[in-house]
Amino acid sequence: MPIADPHCHTLASDGMVTPAELVEAAVGAGLDLIAITDHDTMAAAKEVVERGDAAGLAVVAGQEVTTGWPAQTHILGWFLEKPIKRGMSVADTVAAIHDQGGLVIIPHPFMPVYFGSIQPAMLSRLIEKEPVDGIEVMFTAPAGSRRRRMLDQFISANRERLGASIGASDCHFGLHDIAQVVTAYEGDFRTAILRRRTTPRRGKAKRTVPRDIALRQQWRAMVELPLRRLSGRI
């Protein structure tokens, strides 16, 4: 089965690698497909797609969209033609992705944080109105055993409205963290998502991120990226 890491970032948002370095890392990890999902921008998507084509790597153009204050929940959009406006409600963000034929994926759900990760009550309200196309059930972000049990129970109770089961590394560091969590799929990736023919699993990669690079990434994510949003540069 082909293997995908469908949640990756570059220097266009809070990643630490160029498009070229991301593609090189993906090819080196033996992946068949990645999704480029920078926060609130698709500035790097075209280059990643082009470099992927040249290297024999399939690339899905997407975005990790930040929804409105105060929760600022993150929603992944795949197969996008143009960027999705940040700062809308969760429901409006989902509708905007679907309106242009994209797929909606819930990333790293139920993390014990105030922002970025959708929480059970919010996800319940969302799927009562509109199903999503997939949900990350395996990811690298820390959640804790209690939160993971909550997620397992929620998925079991709402399986039909949550779409395909997805695994992704949320790659920010290229060769240091790509393919740690992956999605195996049957045939065409988009069709596999829609038909729920996906298998999330741990990847073979066991690398660690150097501490100095990890600290610089946290600065980019928590300081530089918000400032770029405020200044209108993203």
Domain layout of the chain by residue ranges: 3-208
Name the band, by pLDDT with cuts 50, 70 and 90, for residue 207: confident
Residue 120 has pLDDT above 80, yes or no: yes
What is the model's pLDDT at position 70? 83
Distance CA 225, CA 205 (A): 28
pTM of the model: 0.93
Selection from 61, 59, 64 nearest residue 31 by Cα: 59
Proportion of the chain above pLDDT 90, given as a percent: 87
Selection from 17, 60, 66, 4 nearest residue 41 by Cα: 66
Q: Are 29 and 178 in contact (CB under 8 A)?
A: yes
What is the model's pLDDT at position 232? 85
- The pLDDT tens digits for 74-89 are 999 999 999 999 999 9
Distance set, CA 73 to CA 148, 152, 197, 204, 221 (Å):
18, 20, 27, 30, 15
Q: Are 168 and 181 in contact (CB under 8 A)?
A: yes
What's the CATH class of domain 3-208?
alpha beta
- The pLDDT tens digits for 131-155 are 999 999 999 988 889 999 999 999 9
- The pLDDT tens digits for 52-77 are 999 999 999 999 999 998 889 999 99
Q: What Rg, from alpha-carbon coordinates, does the chain have? A: 16
**Average pLDDT estimate for 96-124:** 95
Q: Give me 170's structure tokens.
A: 């949320």
Selection from 94, 92, 86 nearest residue 69 by Cα: 86
Q: Give me 156's structure tokens.
A: 């079991």
The alpha carbon torsion through 174, 178, 184, 187 (nearest 10 deg) reads 10
Residue 205 has pLDDT above 90, yes or no: no
For the chain, what is the mean pLDDT? 95
Selection from 109, 118, 114, 84 nearest residue 99 by Cα: 84
Q: Are 168 and 6 in contact (CB under 8 A)?
A: yes
